[in-house]
Chains A and B, each alone.
Chain A
Amino acid sequence: MENVLECKNLTKRYITKTALKGIDLSVPKGTIVGLLGPNGSGKTTLLKLAAGLLKPSSGEILVCGLKPGAESKEIAAYQPDRVYLNDWMTVNDLVLMMADFYKNFNKNKAYEMLTSLKIEKGEKLKSLSKGTKEKVQLILTMSREAPLYMLDEPIGGVDPAARDYILNTIISNYSENATVILSTHLISDIEPVLNYVLFLKEGKIIRQGDVDSIREEKGMSIDQLFREEFRC
């Protein structure tokens, strides 16, 4: 298993529009991949297909060599772009629930991260701010020991200091075999952390490659390239 995510001619049609138009792509293991594109370009659709929440209209998608389903969900960690957790539960309830749910969940890692971000375990999710809820959700996702993490807009709502901490967590947690795919608009913040980028535009991959090679070739950062490529 060399590639953790593979798409072959992947297409997804909704009733009135086609969100993904025949995508071919392979993401090798051990990379941190930025999935970049303007609003409505198909980022969330792609991640949802990989997570098994949507079925492809045609084409194929393989996650860790498996068709998305119960088996792939057990090993790959996916985090949607909004908080999906029950807000009447306390943070500790949530940790225990996740530990119950996923074999690869590491409780100690979760508690450690909660402590460093100064989040009270006994607090109900309902009583936390939007940013803190997002932090809790990200901690729960990153506490799984998975070969693939798929994070949809994970840092949008959190403050810059916590953002730094989260990026640190991603760098130091990810083992040589783990892959992180994250979609975001905050490119300049995460650019040094990425080593591979995918540009999505209107349901197609218009550019993919190694971050430093692109910088070398274009003489500009990924952030600048994005602004140029998607100028309105």
Chain B
Amino acid sequence: MEYQFTNDKPIYLQLIDYFKAQIISGELPEGSRLDSVRDLAVKAKVNPNTMQKALSELERMGLVRTERTSGRFITDDKEKIKSMKEELAKTEIEEFLDKMKSLGFDKDEVIKIINEA
């Protein structure tokens, strides 16, 4: 996967988004083991400290857990992944609705168009 970073956000936040997307798409299956920080950093072409920060943040969110001797794993908590997915969907939809609003459509009109599509 090619990593592309935008200018307006810290890189670690963008890395977190990439991880979330990979968890949702199943590219990183639940319970699977993650590569080492260094390998992940080389792959994404980022500073290892930045990668470390992203992983710590994911851990804090409960999406990744560390086992002292065997490394880092994606959570196998299905509920957690589901709620993360829903949250992501919500923000995407809100952004979309904002955009449609600026084009002059209200929510009901948007729903009508979606149903017709």
A194 proximal to B (CB < 8 A): yes
Query: Do the beta carbons of B10 and A192 come within 8 Å of each other?
Result: no
Query: Do the beta carbons of A220 and B8 come within 8 Å of each other?
Result: yes
Query: Whole-angstrom distance between the alpha carbons of A195 and B52 in the complex?
Result: 12
Nearest chain B CB to A116 CB, angstrom units: 14
B7 proximal to A (CB < 8 A): yes
B53 proximal to A (CB < 8 A): yes
Residue of B nearest to A213 (CB): B10
Query: Are A30 and B49 also in contact (CB < 8 A) when A168-B42, A172-B38, A192-B5 are?
Result: yes
Most buried by B among A171, A211, A224: A171
Query: Do the beta carbons of B7 and A192 come within 8 Å of each other?
Result: no
B48 proximal to A (CB < 8 A): yes
Residue count of chain A within 8 Å CB distance of chain B: 23
For chain B, which range describes its interface: under 10, 10 to 19, 20 to 34, or 35 or more residues? 10 to 19
Nearest chain A CB to B108 CB, angstrom units: 34
A221 proximal to B (CB < 8 A): yes
Query: Do the beta carbons of A193 and B47 come within 8 Å of each other?
Result: yes
A219 proximal to B (CB < 8 A): yes
Task: Select one of A194, A212, A219 contacting B12, CB under 8 A.
Answer: A212
Nearest chain A CB to B92 CB, angstrom units: 21
Query: Whole-angstrom distance between the alpha carbons of A194 and B41 in the complex?
Result: 12
Residues of B within 8 A of A171 (CB): 38, 41-42, 45-48
Task: Select one of B9, B12, B45 contacting A193, CB under 8 A.
Answer: B45
A223 proximal to B (CB < 8 A): yes
A216 proximal to B (CB < 8 A): yes
Query: Are A192 and B42 also in contact (CB < 8 A) when A212-B12, A220-B7 are?
Result: no
Q: List 8 A-B contacts (CB under 8 A).
A: A171-B45, A171-B48, A174-B48, A211-B11, A212-B10, A212-B11, A215-B11, A220-B8
User: Which A residues form the contact surface with B (CB < 8 A)?
Assistant: 30-32, 164, 167-168, 171-172, 174, 192-195, 211-213, 215-216, 219-221, 223-224
What 10 A-B pairs come out closest when comparing CB atoms?
A: A212-B10, A221-B7, A195-B47, A192-B46, A215-B10, A195-B49, A216-B10, A172-B42, A171-B42, A193-B47
